[in-house]
Chains A and B, each alone.
Chain A
């Protein structure tokens, strides 16, 4: 059936309100009687809390409430390993950890009150380097690690929060059959999502003991359950409303300020708003895990990959947060979109006394991709093969299995490679100090569950709800397109309602590139259900068999007897007022089915994943010998998305991800002082790409339909970032003959390396 709405370049449904400044973000809301909350944070990386004295602060005029852990029930939250308290209880584990919260009549009074709270600490020995933290004599950050609730069979010991292993074949045999074996170590830093809108929440308890939280979040439902488990409040007493999100990129999936806001609002008995300033947001929220990747690859002289062993160490900081997930997913992505018969992957999420790291576009994948895609070029160099040819030779195809044995029905990597290379002019003769680099990627877009409801109004228009917030990626529009196409109603007749746990059914999160595939599937199922009910009602009204009926231009018509027709509007009214009852379609979708082969995997924190997506980036750079500066001359990114629901949205995601990848490659890193404290907590010292740092990006859409996705669609949220850094590293190598194995490849590093090379 031809598609009328899916696949069309429809302008976003929320564009006008954003263009006029009318869209309201969290800090744009104010309630009467509202107080401002501010958080007191630990100045030490590792210490016992001996005493907290809030008496002087409480006396300050304008201070209405102060809360510390002593006021709260024992409770810890966490996505995989539940190790994190709302406020530090007896111990602090990173500089910036929340210790107390104040609510006052304005921000100035709240800030003054923080200075009047006296905390007595006894310093403990900290450890900042994950490899040192893995040593047997390292200070232990979580003595009760084994007692914490974990949602999976976690391999955990010492400061290793989680270890995941994937194995297949015979790794030693694989290396022995190889003509070339290369071994290298790659390192990547902490980088921050730097969403333009900082964290914020407003909490308000009502008179019947129920709490409402307004917040900028990638998941009202995750906020709801974490608040529940940390504070022992039943979920039916917690309502979370997602306000418009000014960027998330993974940083806003798990909570930061919301439970803190809830507890101080309860004590103050007034609504409280907490908004982080930029310094606080960079100091103490959830950046990407720094990593060290040791990789060993074996290849034949004809370019067949025979064996790969990888050890990845991810720095998960003071609390687990997304660490186990990142370590697990990074491990799963370590082979890339290639067929490698023998492999052994060990991946670790390790505790250190630095800020807890969390989800950021790519979720462990950019780290391993930087390593293995740099390595692919190094292997190609060893055997004297074109890097593009080496990749195509080993690339997976439809029906191949991923690491651990999950079947991938739709694999568009070869087309991505060819299309990107062709568009970029791969193989042209390079100028001096200019080079082209290529890199592939693999990712997923289906995980966990989503659900949706479709309601037909009395006038035949439709309401769609699922707990998915639009974080800028365009899901409000794409999901409306899927619903309208499924219902066969015009796009303008369908409205997607904003995520609110009281009224929108569960969607795990807007994350993992999963909304189009996972929430989209739930919406398609709900739309099909509502359509079926409409056709059944029409059948009764018209006296025609359901199989005879089709929908066109807001009418249900009989194929046999076209004079037999009835408007959707009339059906809406009839269902409400005459017979049948209001039409409600429901859809519930869980990513399950093909699982990893248990023989091949240990300690993996997810059930299964689906919606495998692929991409290839080709970058041309010019390196300035005098300054070490890298200019991006050309950027091409081809992505297999199954079916592009909204091509403008898909292109926007590829462009944005790509440019974040440029920052990851060339300029971004969080810098820590000797106390493990982040010191570059502003946009002057933490450098994200500006208009001047990138050229036009050329996104290319490849459509290798996935039979399990809605209208064949898969996701594209994260992949735009994943392959950029290795493509740039490979381009730099081709430009100046220097291989960089650590990010970022800052000008001073390149300049120094050029000087070294000259000697």
Chain B
């Protein structure tokens, strides 16, 4: 079944006619060539596919494309378009990135958190990012990168 979907993608209005059963993750990667958003599990368990849907962090692998009609979608490519966003800069400076596969999702979840709470405590960071798995860093330097943002 085909649907016509109109939404705002990284600040630009886009329109697409496609199968209703496709996920936002698959559409972003294959229709719009925005490969920054990753597939880690396809089942909503790992957070590698996190994007912002109307400023809230969602798993794009569990979001069916009709749901984004009329919404704002922000992917990692829409973050820091004029140089690095402070979150990206902090991750780079403080070792919050290793293999980089979880990184886009981590940064999107961090953005959603900081939009609501600009100075989260360590416990709040851990709780809000618990849906993003990382296998490389042990989470330590990711927490550190985010804490150091609020120091400014």
Residues of A within 8 A of B (CB): 11-12, 14-25, 27-28, 193-198, 244-247, 249, 277-278, 471-474, 648-649, 651-652, 655-660, 682-684, 688-692, 694, 696-697, 720
Q: Given the complex, which residues of A lie within 8 Å of B79, measured CB to CB?
A: 20
Residues of B within 8 A of A (CB): 29, 34-43, 45-46, 48, 75-77, 79-80, 84, 88-89, 91-95, 97-104, 107, 122, 125-127, 129-130, 132-144
A688 to B130: give the CA distance in the assembly, Å. Answer: 12
A278-B76 CB under 8 A given contacts A196-B134, A244-B100, A688-B133: no
Contact A196 B35 (CB under 8 A): no
Among candidates B37, B45, B132, residue contacting A21 with C-beta atoms closer than 8 Å? B37
Contact A652 B136 (CB under 8 A): yes
* Other A-B pairs beyond A15-B100, A16-B84, A198-B40, 13, CB < 8 Å: A18-B100, A21-B34, A21-B37, A246-B38, A651-B95, A652-B136, A655-B138, A656-B137, A657-B138, A660-B135, A682-B43, A688-B133, A690-B130
Least Cβ distance of A123 to chain B in Å?
Answer: 32
Among candidates A21, A24, A688, residue contacting B76 with C-beta atoms closer than 8 Å? A21
A472-B36 CB under 8 A given contacts A20-B77, A21-B104: no
A655-B141 CB under 8 A given contacts A21-B77, A22-B36, A682-B41: yes
A473 to B93: give the CA distance in the assembly, Å. Answer: 16
Contact B107 A278 (CB under 8 A): no
Q: Given the complex, which residues of B lie within 8 Å of A649, measured CB to CB?
A: 95
Q: Given the complex, which residues of B lie within 8 Å of A21, measured CB to CB?
A: 34-37, 75-77, 103-104
Determine the residue in chain A with the shortest Cβ distance to B103: A18
Among candidates A652, A689, A691, residue contacting B95 with C-beta atoms closer than 8 Å? A652
Least Cβ distance of B57 to chain A in Å?
Answer: 14
Most buried by B among A18, A23, A688, A690: A18
A-B contact pairs, 20 of them (CB 8 A): A11-B92, A18-B99, A19-B88, A20-B80, A28-B35, A195-B101, A196-B134, A197-B40, A197-B101, A246-B38, A278-B42, A472-B99, A648-B95, A688-B135, A689-B138, A690-B139, A691-B132, A691-B139, A694-B139, A696-B143
A24 to B100: give the CA distance in the assembly, Å. Answer: 10
Determine the residue in chain A with the shortest Cβ distance to B99: A472
Q: Given the complex, which residues of B lie within 8 Å of A660, measured CB to CB?
A: 135, 138
Determine the residue in chain B with the shortest Cβ distance to A659: B138
A692-B100 CB under 8 A given contacts A651-B141, A697-B138: no
Least Cβ distance of A253 to chain B in Å?
Answer: 15
A19-B107 CB under 8 A given contacts A196-B38, A690-B130: yes
Closest 4 CB pairs of A and B: A21-B36, A472-B99, A18-B100, A246-B101
Among candidates A12, A27, A657, A688, residue contacting B97 with C-beta atoms closer than 8 Å? A12
Contact B88 A20 (CB under 8 A): yes
Contact B98 A20 (CB under 8 A): no
Main secondary structure of the interface of A (DSSP, over half): loop
Determine the residue in chain B with the shortest Cβ distance to A684: B45
Most buried by B among A21, A648, A694: A21
A472 to B46: give the CA distance in the assembly, Å. Answer: 18
Determine the residue in chain B with the shortest Cβ distance to A278: B41
Q: Given the complex, which residues of B lie within 8 Å of A16, measured CB to CB?
A: 84, 88, 92
Contact A15 B91 (CB under 8 A): yes
Q: Given the complex, which residues of B lie within 8 Å of A683, measured CB to CB?
A: 41, 43, 45-46, 133
Least Cβ distance of B81 to chain A in Å?
Answer: 10
Least Cβ distance of A35 to chain B in Å?
Answer: 15
Determine the residue in chain A with the shortest Cβ distance to B85: A19
A277 to B130: give the CA distance in the assembly, Å. Answer: 22
Q: Given the complex, which residues of A lie within 8 Å of B122, measured CB to CB?
A: 696
A196-B92 CB under 8 A given contacts A20-B84, A691-B129: no
Least Cβ distance of A695 to chain B in Å?
Answer: 9
Least Cβ distance of A281 to chain B in Å?
Answer: 9
Least Cβ distance of B54 to chain A in Å?
Answer: 20
Contact A246 B100 (CB under 8 A): yes
A684 to B41: give the CA distance in the assembly, Å. Answer: 10
Q: Given the complex, which residues of B lie within 8 Å of A659, measured CB to CB?
A: 138-139
A11 to B102: give the CA distance in the assembly, Å. Answer: 18
Contact B130 A692 (CB under 8 A): yes
Contact B38 A197 (CB under 8 A): yes
Least Cβ distance of B21 to chain A in Å?
Answer: 11
Contact B103 A691 (CB under 8 A): no
Contact B143 A14 (CB under 8 A): no
Contact A247 B135 (CB under 8 A): yes
Contact A690 B77 (CB under 8 A): no
A11-B46 CB under 8 A given contacts A19-B103, A688-B135: no
A692-B136 CB under 8 A given contacts A15-B97, A245-B99: no
Q: Given the complex, which residues of A lie within 8 Å of B101, measured CB to CB?
A: 25, 195-197, 246-247
Contact B38 A684 (CB under 8 A): no
Q: Given the complex, which residues of A lie within 8 Å of B137, measured CB to CB?
A: 652, 655-656
Determine the residue in chain A with the shortest Cβ distance to B89: A19
Contact A23 B135 (CB under 8 A): no
